[in-house]
Amino acid sequence: MAFRKISFAPGEYYHIYNRGNSKQKIFHDIEDYRRFMGLLYACNSTNSFRIYSLNKGENLYDFERGEQLVGIGTYVLMPNHFHILITSTENGDLSKFMQKIVTAYVMYYNKKYKRTGGLFEGKFKAEHLDTDKYLKYIFSYIHLNPIKLIDKNWKETGITDKEKALRFLAGYKYSGYQTYSGEERRENIILNKKLFPKYFPTAQKFSKEILDWITYKGSQ
């Protein structure tokens, strides 16, 4: 039996990620992305529900959650993987939250696509963000991840068209980017920014941080 190398402590910060088996897609259409985002909200609860009784992703936001298991700082969903910045609450359970969301999404996915078996590449991966510098970096890393969809080598070669990259990030709806940039949308309730350092107290400071990263990479 494989054991996780780190344990999860309340008040500590973690970068959680996983991808599809053999790098296969885990999100094929808008419905899939919306379902997973809805589960980020609904599964973050000590309460339980019948996943098949919720037929559409938007209904997940009507779920009465009660106490939250974790605090989500941000996230991003990519076609074949996801990243979540997370902290366990005092009486919460990070592992239970991940078990709930993975189980619920695989049940949805297998039913929709008429398949059986596992979807993800083993257990979710976790990194302990044990320094302030590392935690702030992961915020930017997660939000910048979608640029790979328009320029897969940008981290190595830099960004040639900064305006295009910024427009793409602003229009990418499957992450916490819009929440930090000030857009009003129902998915904002997924995040609990109060449990994380206030690196970006305003949308302007967040936008400047992203621009600084893109400018730095664009100048390499």
Q: Which domains does the chain have, with CATH numbers?
A: 13-218 (3.30.70.1290)
| Side chain identity, residue 19 | R
Alpha-carbon gap, residue 13 to 172, rounded angstroms: 25
Backbone angles phi, psi at 162, to 5 degrees: -65, -40
Percent of the chain as helix, strand, coil, to the nearest 5: 45, 15, 40
pLDDT classification of 2: cutoffs 50, 70, 90? very low
Residue 56: the pLDDT is: 56
pLDDT classification of 65: cutoffs 50, 70, 90? confident
Compute how many other C-beta atoms are within 10 angstroms of the C-beta atom of residue 193: 18
Alpha-carbon gap, residue 169 to 182, rounded angstroms: 13
Question: What is the token pair recorded at 131?
Answer: 């320094």
Alpha-carbon gap, residue 183 to 187, rounded angstroms: 10
pTM given for the model: 0.91
pLDDT classification of 130: cutoffs 50, 70, 90? very high
Is the pLDDT at 38 greater than 60, yes or no? yes
Residue with tokens 């915020």: 139
Strand order of the sheet with strand 81-88? 70-78, 81-88, 13-19, 125-128
Average pLDDT, the chain: 89
Backbone angles phi, psi at 148, to 5 degrees: -60, -25
Residue 216: the pLDDT is: 73
Q: If you ran DSSP here, which 8-state letter would residue 15 be given?
A: E
Residue 217: the pLDDT is: 58
SS (H, E, C) 201-220: CCHHHHHHHHHHHHHHHHCC
Q: Using alpha carbons, select from 19, 16, 25, 24 the residue that is nearest to residue 44.
A: 16
